[in-house]
Structure 1
Amino acid sequence: MSLYYTCRHCGVCLGMLPKQSVKIEQLGFELLNSQEYQEMITTDPLGNIHVTIVCDDCESALRSNPNLHGMDYIIQ
């Protein structure tokens, strides 16, 4: 199982942790409520975990343009 972090708005891969270096218990996923977990974390058929987060560029765009919060993809 590898762990992939991807921006939920622009789709950029922000990082990947290979299965040898990941201990799921150390990632803090238990701090998420069930809705947050369902929105942010998925598992593919190979057992890889995909976490969607917001990258710095999209966070900056959202801060500067609050009207973008309702959009799924803010950077085209």
Structure 2
Amino acid sequence: TYLSSNMKLAQQQGSKLTEDFGPIIVPKHHYFVMGVNRLFSKDSRNGLGYIKEESIVGKSEFVFYPFTDVRMVQ
């Protein structure tokens, strides 16, 4: 429901809510990150660009989605 009701607004704002994009080439030592498909979400498609590896200060310790693959990351 969210996507269908906000797709037109996203297009008007120039936001890539769910459209296909790419292919892209991510530079070495950089990451391409994706948000949550909300109009306020910023990610590599909408404003952030690539994230430098040296800028990442945390790491994942737990995967909770998809629910069929819930696990601790080692």
Structure 1 or 2: more strand by fraction: 1
Q: Which has the larger radius of gyration?
A: 2
Q: Same fold (TM over 0.5)?
A: no
Q: Going by fraction, where is helix more abundant, 1 or 2?
A: 1
Q: TM-score, normalised by structure 2?
A: 0.25
